[in-house]
Amino acid sequence: MVEISRFAVVENGAEIGEGTVVGPFAYIGKDVKIGKNCKIGPNCVISGKTTIGDGNIFVSHAAIGGPPQDTSYKGEETQLIIGDNNIFREFVTVNRATTKEEKITRIGSNCLYMAYAHIAHDCRVGNNVIFANNATLAGHVTVGSFATVGALSAIHQFCRVGEYAFIGGGSILTRDVLPFIKTVGSRGEGKIYGINTIGLERKGFPAETIKALQSAYRLLFNSRMLLSEALPVVEEKYGNVKEVEYLLKFIRESKRGIQR
């Protein structure tokens, strides 16, 4: 059974799954598809061609599926796709895509978006990600699974944030953010502060994997070698560890350069 407040507006054509509750003064557009057992809080707006999985919670005043904040957008049909079991707190905004890439903004599953977080057009966010209050992505940003974006942080367009990355509060980052590593800094001056050891331990990484990442970090960023010289050395020593292999691949594929 679907429970819709008599004060809510649900346009004809919207699809709402069993067990979903729509609160007062919420608005659901005609092209929206919402899965089972979701909770749409009061004053939330879900619009555009937006597909939402099961078990998602929108606390209140969230604006989901609005058009991209991009002057090149002329009303073309683009999409927002959201996975399962996410929590979107007060005033979170997530925009549909432009036509510049695959025309889809993608949000994974099991994520927490705290108050006033913003996910811009054409972003791709993985699973089990945490966005603290006012964490903000510009357009075309990719965030790997299990990353944490600190409060009041902003990520420049087209940047990548690696898996298990930890971004400290108040950071303004204009280059790619390395996986497994703690990164903090103001605009253009972001600094890395070692492997996110405590975070990885909490997520069940074995001690030998963390040790290999720490050794790789020291060779890459604390030795006297150039990064180009250190990469093959690390690969030879620790390339059999999949997490180190991913770190090296992330660095080599960077187009904007990395925060370091």
Structural domain total, the chain: 2
Residue 157 lies in a domain: no
Catalytic residues, by residue number, are 121-122, 139
pLDDT tens per residue, range 194-241: 999 999 999 999 999 999 999 999 999 999 999 999 999 999 999 999
Q: Are 102 and 123 in contact (CB under 8 A)?
A: no
Does the residue 71 lie in any domain? yes
Nearest-Å Rg of the Cα atoms of the chain is 20
Geometric angle at alpha carbon 106, from 101 and 110, rounded to 5°: 160
Q: Is residue 189 predicted with pLDDT exceeding 90?
A: no
CA distances from 82 to 16, 60, 119, 147 (A): 14, 17, 12, 17
pLDDT of residue 185: 83
Regarding whether 119 and 28 lie in a shared domain, the answer is yes
Please check whether residue 153 lies inside any domain of the structure.
no
Task: Indicate if 123 and 231 belong to the same structural domain.
Answer: no
Domain assignment of residue 215, yes or no: yes
- Same-domain status, 130 and 7: yes
What CA–CA distance (Å, rounded) separates 60 from 42? 5
62 is a domain residue: yes
| Final residue belonging to a domain, choices 104, 123, 140 | 140
Residue 180 lies in a domain: no
Do 131 and 204 belong to one domain?
Answer: no
Mean pLDDT of all residues in 28-55: 98
pLDDT tens digits, one per residue of 65-120: 999 999 999 999 999 999 999 999 999 999 999 999 999 999 999 999 999 999 99
- Residues of the domain holding 55: 3-140
- Any domain includes 183: no
CA distances from 47 to 52, 106, 121, 216 (A): 11, 15, 14, 46
Nearest to 147 by CA among 184, 106, 199: 199
Q: What ranges in the chain are assigned the alpha helix state H? A: 197-202, 207-217, 227-238, 242-252
With cut-offs at 50, 70 and 90, classify the pLDDT of residue 175: very high
Span 105-138, pLDDT tens digits: 999 999 999 999 999 999 999 999 999 999 999 9
Give 260's pLDDT tier (boundaries 50, 70, 90). Answer: confident
How many residues can be counted in the chain?
260
pLDDT score recorded for residue 188: 60
Residue that is last in its domain, among 106, 140, 174: 140
Last residue within a domain, chosen from 140, 162, 186: 140
131 plus 24 within the same structural domain: yes
Question: Which tokens is 44 given?
Answer: 């939330």
d(CA 253, CA 260): 15
Do 114 and 229 belong together in one domain?
A: no
Give yes or no for residue 161 having a pLDDT over 70: yes
Q: Residue 219's domain is classified under what CATH number?
A: 1.20.1180.10
Q: Report the pLDDT averaged over residues 49-66.
A: 98
